[in-house]
A and B are shown apart, each in its own frame.
Chain A
Amino acid sequence: MLHYIAAIPAFFLGLLLIVIGLSGFRVDRTEAGKNRARIDSWTDILMGRVRPKDDWMPDSRVQCGMVYNRKEHRLEVSGRLSVESLKRGIRRAG
């Protein structure tokens, strides 16, 4: 019975992942290169350590936050790609 219940969301989640994977083929190469330059490794994406440009011009590609590190008792810079950057990366593909 559990399998019958789990299979339906699994089916739809799988469909969603395929759609996302296919959209990956349409990612703008230039945008992807710029995004890649903001991280050192894939763990930076996972942990939200994407770097904004350190410039007077606001960097609309990255949204910035912060986290409190309890172990070290310090505040740390946090960042990830903005929603608009996400749109730009997919929609401009062609």
Chain B
Amino acid sequence: MESEEPDNNAAETPVDWPYSGWIPTAVGRLSFRHIGDTDFPERAEYANRVDAGDFRYIVVRQYRALSDALFPSLTDTISNRSGRFVFVLTARSDQKTSNNDARIVGSVFIVPDFKPAPVAGSPGMPGQGEIASKADEAIKAINSNRSYGPDRSPEGECASIDNYLVHHTPIRIAFALSRDGVVRIAKPAFTDVELGGKSIEQAKARGVDYERYLAEQAYFFLRDVAHAHQHHEPQTDTLLGLQETDPADIEWRNRLLFALHHHVIGQRRQGDPETLTRTLGVIAYARAFEACSGKGLQGKKLVQFENDSLAQSVAASVRACEIRALETERRRAHGRAMAIWASVAVISILAIFVQPRLNLHEAEAFPRMYAISTVFAEYIVVAIGIAIMLPLAVAWRNWARQVDNRVGSMRNTLRAPLYFNSLKVSLAYIALGLVLIGYGISVYFPVIRPLVSGLLMALFAPQIE
């Protein structure tokens, strides 16, 4: 089960590195200095130092919540599953950092949440907390030493934690990351053979190549720690996936370009300015990848896309969207101004013409108006409460209508109707909503009722002469 360790200095062959991918970089040169400095999906602890010999050493530890259940804290607990993993990266540059062709080579270790201990018969593995503590100790040691002696060098710390992780974590995935963002990934090595066997077997039954799937998880982790997501939702991890390395080292690059352009074309059809503007960034990535791939292909041709025309076309769409948005905003502003003007006119009329009549002397002359005024005065607290609640309810409704603003479990809840285009599902949501609103109103109805009935009486009851 355990795969052989690839030679990091060997040529990129499908045997050594069966998977290839790209960590997007618009400038064409990835900044190794920033590897580890990320808050997505959670804050990563990291050390990223260059030693006196000009070699870079990196250790990154991150917790990653990978369960895609609608309500993971509920269903995963009930089904005795856990989507919480610890990912640890240990790596070093394979040449001095002054060399422009230096790569970062190392391993990604994946630690599931073994709690309680794995089933009998499998090798005992330390828990996530212990692994994370060991990694954090190494990170702290590397970060705290400004000058390195032979016994406390980043090389020694890095080698020490790497050796510990090799023997105490169930999954290790080797990788090599080039300056141009190209990342080569090896097949996962399972220290826990039973875990590997069972995982692959179960995935196979569902038609999934688990070794590739796991390598992709390592790639997503690498991408998160080495790249800031700017032109897509950070949760969209499948914009760029891993490709299988081909002997000519070109087919995977073409596929990656197809994937980028597939994304661009899909996004163009969304028609909102933010998505379209982000699409321009993805086109910039495609250009950068074409440029960095072209350098090493020695005459072999990548598939050609007219990226200049595409970018101009998208920019024109962005402009058209902006003009439409401005026109819509102008109409809305006009509507708001009219509403405010009407409100001011009504309030002014009430204040100027009606208010002076609200006194005891005029009560007999304007009995209905006086009765309404009396009801409001009597239930002033309830009236103020309703006056506050109504705009809040309207604001909440508007907030809820904006999909982008929905967070966490609300986003998850929203996903359910998207599978079904079903009247029943929508009606079920509406019915449940009505029940909850009905409950809210029924609780407060005794408080509101006197005001409502008083107003109705004042408005419609026959006046006694």
Contacts and interface: CB of A to CB of B under 8 A. Distances in A.
A32 B232 CA distance: 22
A40 B206 CA distance: 12
Contacts, number: 272
A10 B439 contact: yes
A14 B430 CA distance: 8
Interface string A50-71: 1110101111101111111111
Given A17-B433, A64-B216, A70-B115, A78 B83 contact: yes
A75 B195 contact: yes
Contact of B81 (A23, A51, A67): A67
A59 B238 contact: yes
A15 to B, nearest CB: 6
Contacts of A33: 421
**B interface majority secondary structure:** helix
Nearest to B233: A83
Interface in A39-94: 39, 42, 45-52, 54, 56-60, 62-92
Interface residues of B, number: 101
B419 A67 contact: no
Nearest to A53: B238
Interface stretch (B142-150, B330-338, B344-352, B395-403): B395-403
A87 B271 CA distance: 11
A29 B423 CA distance: 12
B443 A58 contact: no
B72 to A, nearest CB: 7
Given A15-B437, A17-B429, A22-B430, A72 B198 contact: yes
A67 B82 contact: yes
Contact of B85 (A10, A58, A68): A68
Interface residues of A, number: 76
Given A46-B70, A65-B66, A20 B413 contact: yes
A22 B426 contact: yes
Contact of B237 (A39, A63, A67, A70): A63
Interface string B223-255: 000000000110111111101100000000001
Contacts of B70: 45-48, 80
Contact of B441 (A11, A49, A75, A91): A11
A68 B235 contact: no
Interface centre among A19, A31, A59 (most CB of B within 10 A): A19
Interface stretch (B46-54, B261-269, B300-308, B359-367): B261-269
B433 A16 contact: yes
